[in-house]
Chains A and B, each alone.
Chain A
Amino acid sequence: MSAHLQTQWEGIVAIAGAEHVRAASPSDAVDDVEPRAVVEPESAADLARVLSYAGERGLSVAPRGGGTKLGWGNTPRTVDLALSTRRLGSIVEHAWGDMTATVGAGCTVDHFQSVLAEHGQRLAVDPLWPARATVGGILATNDSGALRMAFGSLRDQVIGVTVALADGTIAKSGGRVVKNVAGYDLPKLLTGSLGTLGVICEATFRLYPLPREERTLSFSTPAVDVMNRFVLAVLDSPLVATGLQVCAEERTPAPVIYVRLEGAREANESQERRLVELGRDTGVRRVDAPPRVWKAREGVWQGERPALVCKFSVLPTRLGGFCDLAREVASSLSLEWSIVAQALGVGLLRLEGGDEERLVAALKRLRGEVEKTQGSLVALHCPPAVKARVDVWGEVGDALPLMRRVKVQFDPAGILNPGRFVGGI
């Protein structure tokens, strides 16, 4: 280690403590960019001091929680420090009478949920890999799942944050009450910002009760257009589902639909009867639900072969069209595909079984089509050789210069996750 590096190392050790600074290993790499050190401060104040130290010296920082989504975003230009929120994992307050809770960014989603469940409550989101994913991580990556159908996404449930900025400033925005319009809503700005504006240290959420009873119904569809008609019919009905998910893949002829109902038993029974009737009217057939259908989003990530995993967003009326498009593109490039989508139009697509050339071609064609109808297609995971050739985010539109100005205001030296976000932010 050079004398210069040694000095920097010591500076960080002085803040975080020797046992909480370690040399990085290949498993800490963001894509193929390996940081020099991993720092795990024990408090928001120490985390902010590390940021300030890094900022003054122009060290680039990649914030991380459970490390489940380190590959999301473009490859960073540089990463000197991996700044972990792991030790900011305490549950600060569960105000169950007010149905709010404040939690450290490093708390895993599962642990948070288990504490909330003691009072019959929950954070009404079901992100990927909740045993390892942290609250800060799901906020930074805006990862909501099927519950979004009924409860909205994270942006609708986060009501306050404490954030550490690149210059070491610690700021709060929002609050601990559900209804609050005092000042700008930074919790929303930070949700989905991929750690490029600041490091979320603590967040407050509004909560929902755990359901009294829940059940899942499955329907098989004869064709994609029938699937789309059924989905739209459910959305257009007074039925209230807390999940409406479509799974489609290469091997099965037509998509399967899963509907989740939550509520009082008699209400669920009545909704179930009506769903089955609606199914009969639209031409879908009730089948037995396999287990773990609400973990199907995680299934999209499983597989040994090099794959492209994309998040797509289309209008609900175009879900069927997107399935057709995926099939057509995959087939023309001899790729295998699978889709898990939510009825609101957001889903995951996996493409595999082809070389880099074909994956890139597929991404470009799909994105070209989706963007024509105001949709988006973001590559969340792909082989490094693919990532080197594409922008994972796609079209951002005419607000990109404004987004750059926001970034420059929050992180003028550009030390936070440089290059990972849209437009090279």
Chain B
Amino acid sequence: MKAEFVDALRRAVGDNGLLVEPEQLRTYECDGLTNFRVVPAAVVLPSDATQVQEVVRLCHRGRVPFVARGSGTGLSGGALPVDGGIVISLARLNRILEVDFENARVTVEPGVINAQVTQRVAARGYFFAPDPSSQQVCTVGGNVAENSGGAHCLKYGFTVTHVLGLEVILPDGSLVHLGGKTLDRPGYDLTGVFVGSEGTLGIATKIVLRVVKRPEAIKTLIAAFDSTDEAGEAVSRVIAEGIVPAAVEMMDRLALEAAEAAVHAGYPDCEALLLVEVDGPAAEVASSMERVKDLCASCGAWEMRLSETEEERALVWKGRKAAFAAMGRISPNYIVQDGVIPRTALALVLRDIERLSREAGLRVANVFHAGDGNLHPLVLYDRKIEGQEHRAEELAFDILKLCVDAGGSITGEHGVGREKRDIMPTMFAEPDLETMQLVRCAFDPEGLANPEKIFPRPRLCAEKPGPYKPHPLEVAGVAELF
């Protein structure tokens, strides 16, 4: 990296906003997915949107690729730096700018932590619905990049459902506003396509969020089953009954063992545990939960516990949310995967996962958002044993292929990032990927924003100025807005 460029960065963000020492840079060499590592040429920590814009302008002028980063909790290598590029950390843009309770809107900077949004509005009975397991540390900007889900998106939707507007620095350094505080702004829904674009279309510097009124009642049931098949059947029957739970989670024996060792949630000793949460008006919740219990019992649940207090509920969830990290208790290393299947294929896919696991000689623990078919198989291995890491990676991808074959997806909430880039063609044909990249070409024709992510091959963007023809109104000088 040229010294003049580094000097220009320093002028843009100040001495305390620039990291160039190798030890400092190494902190940024990977995100939550640690088997890909690239040390960036520099890291900048701008303190406001103007500084972000100045940095992006410099990158554009010098054709230096950049990767935006929140807390670095991503699990697909989405914040993996690019060789020779810089990392733009949004950690210092951490202000909650406006809270408008009457309209249920909150405007934040991208570095605000997910859980802080809920903390800020909780006293008035509101919450921010997307709740990835990392919500105590992950940023809203990161949630926007990944279109994060969480356990409750079955009912409440994903991050995109809760983002109404964005201020974005485009990869050429220009600033645009997408969407806004009101619904259905005229024009293309660029907010909808920006959310989940994994940092490849620009950097959001302001985010208008919708917050949701906390339901009057919440009931959480755990039910123990002798097999994942039985638990899966219970989920199907609940859904077929016309009940939309707030969350339905399933853990298999191995996942339960790890979670129990980590947080002592007091889960029953069983082959499959179902966690069903129902929320809403008290009378509706009471009626739905009775039916859920009956249906679980009819599918073979031999122990059911309803959380009676907020503390009990918190403990039940703590075990579930700690499940990934808990794997460290039962295995030296593990890979978290993130496949999605149509819910009805659950039993079939689980049997295939078991078969693949046996063939590979590696254990697989299963944690699912069972309500929406989002599987998180955890492939356990020991890096110190020659060849095991490679086998584990292969097994993880084979499981994702199973998901695609069953009509599902290679990622439900973790993103494609660097990790799954090369298996995108298992899910999409060439014209599909080329068409998606038309969007990229409109936003970032030079491919500077988080390159080498999502798409196995970048599309060459035609530099056509476009045969833009003036509208007759424009010609007539009528439409002052054109």
Contacts and interface: CB of A to CB of B under 8 A. Distances in A.
Interface stretch (B19-27, B48-56, B62-70, B187-195): B187-195
B103 A184 contact: no
A317 B102 contact: yes
A184 B409 contact: no
Interface string B210-244: 00011110000000000000000000100110111
A215 to B, nearest CB: 14
Interface stretch (B5-13, B133-141, B146-154, B353-361): B146-154
Contacts of B436: 171, 173, 183-184, 186
Contacts of A175: 340, 407-409, 427
A155 B243 CA distance: 22
Contact of A179 (B149, B176, B197): B149
B193 A402 contact: no
A390 B472 CA distance: 11
B182 A77 contact: no
A338 interface: no
B158 to A, nearest CB: 7
B193 A185 contact: yes
Contacts of B374: 179
A366 to B, nearest CB: 14
A409 B441 contact: yes
A125 interface: no
B197 A97 contact: no
Contacts of B284: 240, 263-264, 267
A394 B205 CA distance: 26
B38 interface: no
A74 B433 contact: no
Interface in B393-449: 407-416, 420, 424, 427-429, 431-436, 438-443
A189 B181 contact: no
Interface string A171-194: 111011111111111101101110
B3 interface: no
Given A179-B373, A316-B102, A263 B281 contact: yes
A404 interface: yes
Contacts of B407: 175-177
A192 B435 CA distance: 18
B177 interface: yes
Nearest to B407: A176
A378 B186 contact: yes
A192 B182 CA distance: 16
Given A171-B432, A189-B190, A422-B187, A181 B467 contact: no
Interface stretch (B88-96, B294-302, B326-334, B473-481): B473-481
Contact of B342 (A170, A177, A266, A374): A177
A97 B343 contact: yes
A399 interface: yes
Contact of B428 (A155, A176, A183, A208): A183
A130 B178 CA distance: 30
A155 B192 contact: yes
B344 A97 contact: yes
Nearest to B479: A391
Given A376-B185, A391-B478, A180 B104 contact: no
Nearest to B344: A97
Interface stretch (A34-42, A219-227, A231-239, A328-336): A231-239
Given A181-B196, A398-B175, A422 B181 contact: no
A418 B170 CA distance: 26
Contacts of B243: 209
A211 B438 CA distance: 41
Given A97-B239, A178-B372, A184-B197, A77 B471 contact: yes
16 contacts: A74-B473, A142-B184, A172-B429, A175-B427, A177-B342, A180-B340, A181-B412, A182-B409, A184-B436, A209-B244, A238-B215, A240-B215, A402-B443, A414-B468, A422-B186, A424-B471
Given A97-B240, A97-B342, A264-B284, 6 more contacts: A75-B472, A77-B469, A77-B472, A271-B283, A315-B181, A317-B103
Interface of A: 74-75, 77, 95-100, 120, 142, 152-153, 155-156, 163, 165, 169-173, 175-186, 188-189, 191-193, 197, 208-210, 212, 232, 235-240, 263-264, 266-267, 269-271, 311, 313-317, 344-346, 374-376, 378, 388-391, 393-400, 402-410, 412-414, 418-419, 421-424
